[in-house]
Amino acid sequence: MTPPPSRSPRRTLTRALTVAAAVTLVSGLGVVAATQANAAAGCRVAYSANSWSTGFTGNVTVTNLGDPITNGWTVAWAFAGNQTVTQGWNATITQSAKNVTAVSPTYANSLATNASATFGFNANYSGTNTNPTAFTLNGVACTGSTGPTTPPSSPSTPPSSPSTPPSSPPTSQPPAGAKVDNPYAGVAGYKNPEWQAKANAEPGGSRVANNPTAVWLDRIAAIEGTDGSSSNGSMGVRDHLDAALAQGAGYIQFVIYNLPGRDCAALASNGELGPNDLPRYKSEYIDPIAAIQADPKYAALRIINIVEIDSLPNLVTNTSGNAGGTAACDTMKANGGYVQGVGYALNKLGAIGNVYNYVDAAHHGWIGWDSNFLPTANILLQAAQASGSVNNVTGFIVNTANYSALKEQYFGIGTSVNGTSVRQSTWVDWNQYVDELTFAQSFRNQLVAVGFNSNIGMLIDTSRNGWGGSGRPTAASTSTDVNTFVNQSRIDRRIHAGNWCNQSGAGLGERPRANPETGIDAYVWVKPPGESDGSSSLIPNDEGKGFDRMCDPTYTGNARNGNSLSGALPNAPISGAWFSAQFQQLMANAYPAL
Q: Residue 531, annotated ligand binder?
A: yes
Q: Which residue blocks in 418-516 are alpha helix, DSSP H?
A: 436-450, 482-489
Asked if 436 contacts 398 with a C-beta cutoff of 8 angstroms, the reply is yes
SS3 374: helix
Using CB atoms within 10 Å of the CB of residue 587, give its burial: 0 to 12 exposed, 13 to 18 middle, 19+ buried.
Answer: buried
DSSP H or E run through 579: none
Among 211, 230, 210, residue whose Cα is nearest residue 219: 230
| Pairwise CA distance, residues 423 & 35, whole Å | 72
CA distances (Å), 194 to each of 146, 198, 214, in order? 44, 7, 11
Asked if 37 contacts 66 with a C-beta cutoff of 8 angstroms, the reply is no
Q: Which residue blocks in 490-592 are alpha helix, DSSP H?
A: 580-588
- Give the helix, strand, coil percentages of the chain, each rounded to 5: 25, 20, 60
| Pairwise CA distance, residues 559 & 550, whole Å | 12
Q: Residue 272, annotated ligand binder?
A: no
Q: Which residues are catalytic?
A: 263, 310, 533
Q: Residue 496, annotated ligand binder?
A: no
SS3 230: coil
DSSP symbol at 62:
E
| Pairwise CA distance, residues 557 & 493, whole Å | 17
- Total number of residues shown for the chain: 594
Among 526, 1, 586, residue whose Cα is nearest residue 213: 526
355-360 and 395-398 as β-strands: parallel, antiparallel, unpaired? parallel
Among 74, 157, 94, 129, residue whose Cα is nearest residue 388: 129
Strands of the 140-141 sheet, one edge to the other: 92-96, 99-103, 74-78, 136-137, 140-141
Q: Residue 366, annotated ligand binder?
A: yes
Among 534, 545, 547, 522, residue whose Cα is nearest residue 463: 522
Residues 232/395/443/551 CA torsion (nearest 10 deg): 0
Give per-residue burial for 230-252: e unless 16+ CB within 10 Å, then b. bbbbebbbbbbbebbeeeebbbb
| Pairwise CA distance, residues 474 & 502, whole Å | 24
Q: Residue 427, annotated ligand binder?
A: no
Q: Residue 202, annotated ligand binder?
A: no
Output the 3-class SS for 332-345. Answer: HHHHCHHHHHHHHH
Asked if 557 contacts 565 with a C-beta cutoff of 8 angstroms, the reply is yes
Asked if 443 contacts 540 with a C-beta cutoff of 8 angstroms, the reply is no
Annotated binding site: 216, 218, 363, 366, 402, 500, 527, 531
Annotated binding site for substrate: 216, 218, 363, 366, 402, 500, 527, 531
